[in-house]
Structure 1
Amino acid sequence: MRLVIYLQEKAGHLREVENVKAVARLRNHLNTDNQLTEQGFEILIRTLKSFKEVVGTYSLTELVCVATATIRQANDQEAILQSVQKETGFSIRILSEKEEAFYGYLAVVNSTSLEEGITVDIGGGSTEVTYFKNRQLVEAHSFPFGALTLRTFFKDIIPQEKEIFELRHFLMKQFSSLPWLFQKQVPLIGIGGSARNLVQMDQAMKKYPLAGLHQYKMRSSDIQAVMTYLNGLSYNDLWKVEGLSSDRADIILPTITVFSSLYETIQAESFILSRKGLRDGVFYEQLSKELGTYLFPNVLEDSIQELINDYDLHPKQILHVQTLTRKLFNQIEEKTDLDWYPVDWQLLKRASYVFNLGKYIDSESSSQHTFYLLANRTIDGLLHNERLELALVASFKNKTVFNQYIHPYKDWFSKQRRKKLRSLGSLLKFAYCLDATKRQVVEDFTLEVTDKGLDLTLFCTQDWMPEEYQAEKQKKHLEKALKTAINLQFKRKEEEKTLM
């Protein structure tokens, strides 16, 4: 059971300010008549009263309370609803199987840039799967088994090989009942606590250097490696595994078997974790009443805008520098032998929005703060390697510092890719020097190839001394990346007409 509270800030975006979890496992408190036992009622009411205490410290504009499989499957659900209303004042809405699956899908498409995929959310008493394409929900299904029910396949916490085989056989049979799952070859997106624990264990085993779980990618071999590792542990050692929550230790092997079996069924392209799940889907539905649509138009743009707001960046400067950067990018690509492509411009454009945002914390160590913040902050719409590339370009200071930042991740990139990231970073840093005083002094420029290198003539509307100083000082980084000299000449805007 979980309580989440969101705050809408002045800038308009929403931030999670409270996230309280309680392990209830109400599924274990359904008796043979499928009714909630007295102990189950006590746990439910006690937990909700605790949540109410927390809720009371906030001025909420809206509160939504939803229940899933256990209450949905209980034969005395009316008594449960009345008891909760009487004891806590909360009105519970019981989600249907389709609604539960829908909210998981909604959370994924509104927090990633995935256009197509299959989601899986393993609860205590049910497992929801959906298939979406072009961000639209195509298929949804709820299986009447979950982590707590699947645990009964194993006699002990650490299963025998035969028991795992029997569970896999059961799961493959269940999944094969849905033709739309077969060999889809799309990403499998895991939602919920068991998926988070799987990722946390994989990161711990690999000594993963980046922070964050959302949009972390795994392969089939990674899932199997975690499974093999856990199967080789003793009962006592299982509870000590880094990344595995103690309240999930007894159910983690059945749930990983679900992920592995579904991965095989759909011949998945990869396994990707979504930290956003059912509760976020419910929240997005509430938010959609204001927006008029369930789907956010551009997840990544919203995330970038949030960074701009959080770190007090200057939109006018960003747009001006972005214009200069685009023209520089195009002309350098056209007049040199560099292999720059549209996808490289997309990365450069993203980085131009958040270049040197670390100065918000400390201008002297701006580059270090920029790299750390971008590399380790969840950015909806970017996978971890994409987030790292953004951090490397937006924090560029010089080749030495760049090599320091990329050193722990050297194996992630080819030598050619590292060189390209460095050249894009040096171009962006140089472009920002052309607006050093945030006055948009440099309005336009021309670029010509000569025997001496590149002649860059910059046309200015005001005094350009600070911009000239910074550009002359920093151009060496771009010169090294391009392997050619850059000759700068600043002129008044009026002189442009004379030259033409």
Structure 2
Amino acid sequence: MYTEKIALIDIGSNTIRLVIYGIDQTHHFVELHNEKIPARLSQYLDQKKGQVILNKDGLNVLIEILHNYHQVCQEFKVDTILPKATAAIRQSSNQADIIDTVKTVTGLTIEIVTEEEEAKSGAYAITHSMDIDNALTIDIGGGSCEITLFEDKKVVQYHSFPFGTVSLQKDFFANKDHNDSQAMSNLSNFVKKAFRDYDWIKKAKVPVIAIGGSARNVANVFQRSIDYPMAGLHGFVMTKDQLDQTLQLFANTPFDKMNDIDGLSSDRLDIIIPANLVFIELVKAAKSDAFVISTRGLREGMVLKYINDNYDGPIDNATIRARAIFQMKEDLPMAGIGPQTAVDTSISLYSQLCHLGLLEYNYKLQELLEYAASIYRFGGFLSAEADSQHTFYICANMNLLGFVHKDRLKLALLASYRNKSLFKQYLSNYQGWLAEDEKKELQILGGVLKFANAINDSNIEHISKVHLKQVEVKNYQLDIYHVGPILSEKFRANRHQKHLERALDGKLTLHFINTDA
């Protein structure tokens, strides 16, 4: 099933995490195992004669965890183990001794990740999992904060700030309440000044994409506080005001009640406010209008780089959505999905509606229509009777790389389209997500999809092309060119032509032309 199993051990300043991935024949990687231990190695860093040293207690903690992870890897029959260390060990002047001792005791060879590699690995993961060309990225760990700027999906600036959630908590909140107002103000001013020194941050004016556990926690808390209707965090977008809301929730909650906040991890209770403050200050400094969550970060960036380096570069960052839909088809039993002609017919009708001035052409929308056509009502594998409902639920809640949540909703609405009633029913949980003109446009395209599938009913690919023309005002004719008999298609086309008439806002006549005759 998998051509290779690799394990990434992410030795951070706050947590040490083991993730085991399986790589299949299409170079898709699947997470097989994921566990973490909040080691907080940064707390074991001592200052001696002007140098930072990981003390003996910290080394023992590290060795114990790595020894345990090595055993787990053996149980999973892992082919390649990649132990990667970031800020805590990178900052240690005794890192050579640490590496030697770990190698001797556990058999594992730690690789130190440079600041540049750490920053660029996170950006690499984002540019290969999100359909965003220009953005700032932030990955705040326990002891460092990596920020990059990428343009046209290429990193053009990066900096590793020597502070993280654990060190900020230690420096500003030591012997103080977790929500001490003066400490919060001092921390904000410190971070604000740090960001102010970099013109490329101040001039960015692009989305801020956040990776790492603290960002996921903030977003998770916000989602649960508003009963967010869609599953998943990847591609979730927050505003600065919403970041302010989560900060106020944390600040207004006594520490002994923080564990009661739904969505907040118990090992981040004391560091979530420092993280939230950093996110707010970066959004403000960059004058950004969007704070986007990526569940793919340093580890996934390293795995992607490993695959591209060892498997002749099969994963590019220009086909993220197409790969996501392809993988969806691979993962789910979609054998009953219709022929390519239904996809071609949908795209052709959309193009002709735009040419007639009935719709405004949008490349992104055409792309979305094509994806929806290729998986149209695939939910029938669960129940033919409820194919629309199952399709909508899976599309709306499946983590599809390259799709922000709003686009995932649009895809779900198109791929599941059956009638106006269900369309409105699905949208009832997503009030305010779409403007009225967007709803109207999607409903029209849903009708196009339904009609296109109706005239390809028998899945034999008899339809060769369709041609839509205006006969007179609000009167149109659709020429349907076909080969051989299409009795079922004719019946279904006449039954569902109302969907096209809605798009045309006029009367439609169907004209079938047998090119075999």
Give the TM interval when normalised to the shorter protein. Answer: over 0.9
Question: Out of 255, 266, 279, which is 2:299 matched to?
Answer: 279
**1:165 and 2:185 aligned:** yes
Question: Out of 118, 126, 132, which is 2:136 matched to?
Answer: 118
Cα distance in 1 for partners of 2:276, 2:91 equals 24
What is the TM-score when the length of structure 1 is the normalising length? 0.93
Partner of 1:300: 321
Query: Residues 33-72 of structure 1: matches in 2 within 5 Å?
Result: 33=48, 34-72=52-90
Question: Out of 250, 272, 286, which is 1:266 matched to?
Answer: 286
**1:490 and 2:505 aligned:** no
Compute the displacement of 1:215 (Å).
1.3
What is the TM-score when the length of structure 2 is the normalising length? 0.90
Compute the displacement of 1:312 (Å).
4.5
Compute the displacement of 1:365 (Å).
1.5
Matched to 1:177, the amino acid is D
Compute the displacement of 1:293 (Å).
7.8
Cα distance in 2 for partners of 1:488, 1:479 equals 11
Q: Is the 8 A contact 1:308 1:353 kept in 2?
A: no
Structure 1 residues 203 and 173, CA, compared in 2 at 3 Å: closer, same or farther?
Answer: same
Compute the displacement of 1:493 (Å).
1.4
Partner of 1:19: 34
Q: Secondary structure in 1 aligned to 2:46? A: coil
Cα distance in 2 for partners of 1:488, 1:159 equals 69
Compute the displacement of 1:268 (Å).
1.2
Cα distance in 2 for partners of 1:417, 1:9 equals 38
**1:463 and 2:498 aligned:** no
Query: Residues 167-246 of structure 1: matches in 2 within 5 Å?
Result: 167-246=187-266
Question: Out of 130, 138, 141, which is 2:159 matched to?
Answer: 141
Q: Secondary structure in 1 aligned to 2:431? A: helix
Cα distance in 1 for partners of 2:350, 2:396 equals 24
Question: Out of 168, 174, 181, which is 1:150 matched to?
Answer: 168
Compute the displacement of 1:244 (Å).
0.8
Structure 1 residues 252 and 318, CA, compared in 2 at 3 Å: closer, same or farther?
Answer: farther
Q: Is the 8 A contact 2:358 2:503 kept in 1?
A: no
User: Which segments of 5 or more consecutive residues in structure 2 lack a partner in the other structure?
Assistant: 1-15
Cα distance in 1 for partners of 2:424, 2:319 equals 32
Partner of 2:462: 441
Cα distance in 2 for partners of 1:467, 1:19 equals 50
Identity %: 32
Q: Secondary structure in 2 aligned to 1:304? A: helix
**1:415 and 2:430 aligned:** no
Q: Deviations over 1:76-98 (max 9, x none)?
A: 21222122212221111011111
Per mean C-alpha deviation after superposition, the further-off stretch among 452-461 and 90-99 is: 452-461
Cα distance in 2 for partners of 1:332, 1:117 equals 34
Question: Out of 495, 512, 517, which is 1:473 matched to?
Answer: 495
Compute the displacement of 1:480 (Å).
3.8
Q: Deviations over 1:324-377 (max 9, x none)?
A: 122212223334644454443232122122211212333221111111111111
**1:363 and 2:384 aligned:** yes
Q: Is the 8 A contact 1:464 1:490 kept in 2?
A: no
Matched to 2:293, the amino acid is L
Q: Deviations over 1:6-58 (max 9, x none)?
A: 21234442222221111111111223433333332232122222222221133
Matched to 1:274, the amino acid is S
Q: Secondary structure in 2 aligned to 1:132? A: strand
Cα distance in 2 for partners of 1:94, 1:336 equals 58
Q: Secondary structure in 2 aligned to 1:64? A: strand
Cα distance in 1 for partners of 2:471, 2:25 equals 52
Cα distance in 2 for partners of 1:261, 1:443 equals 57
**1:347 and 2:365 aligned:** no
Partner of 2:13: none
Structure 1 residues 490 and 295, CA, compared in 2 at 3 Å: closer, same or farther?
Answer: closer
Question: Out of 19, 35, 60, which is 1:4 matched to?
Answer: 19
Cα distance in 1 for partners of 2:244, 2:384 equals 46
Q: Is the 8 A contact 1:423 1:482 kept in 2?
A: no
Q: Deviations over 1:231-271 (max 9, x none)?
A: 11111121211111010010000111111111111111311
Compute the displacement of 1:184 (Å).
1.3
Structure 1 residues 85 and 341, CA, compared in 2 at 3 Å: closer, same or farther?
Answer: closer
Partner of 2:99: 81
Question: Out of 396, 403, 420, which is 1:382 matched to?
Answer: 403
Q: Is the 8 A contact 1:151 1:251 kept in 2?
A: yes
User: Which segments of 5 or more consecutive residues in structure 1 lack a partner in the other structure?
Assistant: 496-500
Greater fraction helix: 1
Compute the displacement of 1:475 (Å).
2.8
